Chains A and B, each alone.
Chain A
Amino acid sequence: MPTINLSYRAIFSLVLKRDLTIAMRHKDDIINPLLFFVIVVTLFPLGIGPEAQTLSRIAPGIIWVAALLATLLSLDRLFKSDHDDGSLEQMLLSPHPVFILVLAKISAHWLITGLPLIFIAPLLAVLLHLNEQSYGALMLTLLLGTPILSLLGAIGVALTVGIKKGGVLLSLLVLPLYIPVLIFATSAIDTAALGLPYSGQLAIIAALFFGSLTLAPFAVGAALKVSTN
């Protein structure tokens, strides 16, 4: 029997590096969701009018809903191209545990789509006259919340990857799962605007994050096995 080096860290960084390399050579994957995010957010002041009071009231909701939709837009290619060219089969047949491979792919997805959103969000918040006291809360909720979007979204993609036109089904599956994140994130930002502590909401988002970080990769692995059956 050949013995094989099954280091989790080695295989995690291998898959992460591969996905980032592919994204770097396919830059529209990075730019499209980001542009979508920027355009959706800038449409609101145009549609609603430039009154600072109204905009600052709805700013947290707009930024978060736009972030949800931008993530949703980018989810499809998480497993789609790997499924279409047979790489996914090979990953499922590798001796490494599937959850490590899946976790690496989701991490790469977050680095490509979630992280750029976090960097650009404060600029868009200025555009929406977000309350000055809320910036910290906005950044923290995005930092803890966007990984949840990638993790939960991956379950939906894994379930729909074998279906030809799974796009609509994907949004029907995934968007309801995003609701708790949206509620607690916007609530935290609103609370911060009043100058009150928002650590409660943040703790719940953190709990959601760690819950999905530990459980989602297993669900994704199981869903992928069903999808390739």
Chain B
Amino acid sequence: MPVNQTSSLISPLISATNLTCIREERLLFDQLNIEINAGDIVQVEGPNGSGKTSLLRILAGLSQPFEGEVFFNNQLISQSREEFHQNLLYLGHLPGVKDEMSAEENLTFNLALHGTADKAIDTEQIEQILAKVSLTGFEDSLASHLSAGQHRRISLARLYKSTANIWILDEPFTAIDKQGVHALELLFKAHIEQGGCVILTTHQDLLTFKPTQIKKIVLDYTFDESSFDESSFAENTFDNYTEQGR
């Protein structure tokens, strides 16, 4: 059916309508409409506590918005769970790495859990991927003996073998060194050139991309309020720190 094919090319990969998010009786964003197409890199910006993580979790289907809906290929994500999850790679604040398992075991499990690993993936390939995130020599070390940055590298290693179109990354550069950040940016570039999309939050500038290339979603709802003053800002940030610590 050629008609359907053309329409699926134009239609956004992931879209959201009228998203409203309320946390702890505070409005984080209101009536947000988002359309993200294949080949987009989207940076969600905003001060601490402005709802960046909440937005990413809603887009990934982990949290429910107060109002509004999220669509994948024009289908509600709740109605196309399996298909959506096959095409989604979400990495949150927490790396999802088990202390009791080695780097290699962690990566093998993470790949298999998301169905990216077939029988063709063997130890050698796992080692190659780990080498790409500079973990050569640490393959058999238990994750409890590795640093925070290395934990994040283990979880980011999944990106190199991902078949998912949609990458949602919450602060992917946390605890990653400069060369690591550069390598990741190159990886994002290759991914969007292959027709994927990347949605991420970061306080760093993406140096590999032209500023015009990056779509931005700016969350600063609290700052538009005329009632805003410094004391309420301090309160906001404190609340959200404790929330993240949970």
Contacts and interface: CB of A to CB of B under 8 A. Distances in A.
Contacts of A25: 100-101, 142
Interface string B201-213: 0000000000000
Interface string A85-97: 1110111111110
Nearest to B60: A93
B113 A22 contact: no
B96 A85 contact: yes
B118 A95 contact: no
Main secondary structure on chain B at its contact with chain A?
loop
Residue among A6, A25, A95 having the largest count of chain B Cβ atoms under 10 Å: A95
A164 B90 contact: no
A23 to B, nearest CB: 9
A2 interface: yes
A96 B100 contact: no
Contact of A21 (B92, B101, B155): B101
B110 A21 contact: no
Given A85-B96, A86-B94, A229 B115 contact: no
B53 to A, nearest CB: 12
Contacts of B96: 85-87, 89-90
Contacts of A1: 83, 86-87
A18 B109 CA distance: 8
Nearest to B96: A86
B97 interface: yes
A129 B83 CA distance: 58
Interface residues of A, number: 30
Contact of A87 (B61, B87, B98, B142): B98
Contacts of B100: 21-22, 25-26
A18 B83 CA distance: 25
B93 A86 contact: yes
Contacts of A18: 98, 101, 105, 109
A30 to B, nearest CB: 13
Interface of A: 1-2, 4-6, 11, 14-15, 18, 21-22, 25-26, 81, 84-87, 89-96, 162, 164, 228-229
Given A21-B105, A85-B99, 13 more contacts: A4-B116, A6-B115, A14-B112, A18-B98, A26-B100, A85-B94, A85-B97, A85-B98, A86-B93, A87-B98, A90-B114, A92-B62, A95-B86
23 contacts: A2-B163, A4-B115, A6-B82, A14-B109, A14-B112, A18-B105, A18-B109, A21-B105, A22-B101, A84-B94, A85-B95, A86-B92, A86-B95, A87-B98, A89-B62, A89-B92, A89-B94, A90-B110, A93-B62, A94-B115, A95-B82, A95-B86, A229-B62
Interface of B: 60-64, 82-83, 85-88, 90, 92-101, 105, 109-110, 112-116, 118, 142, 155, 163-164, 246
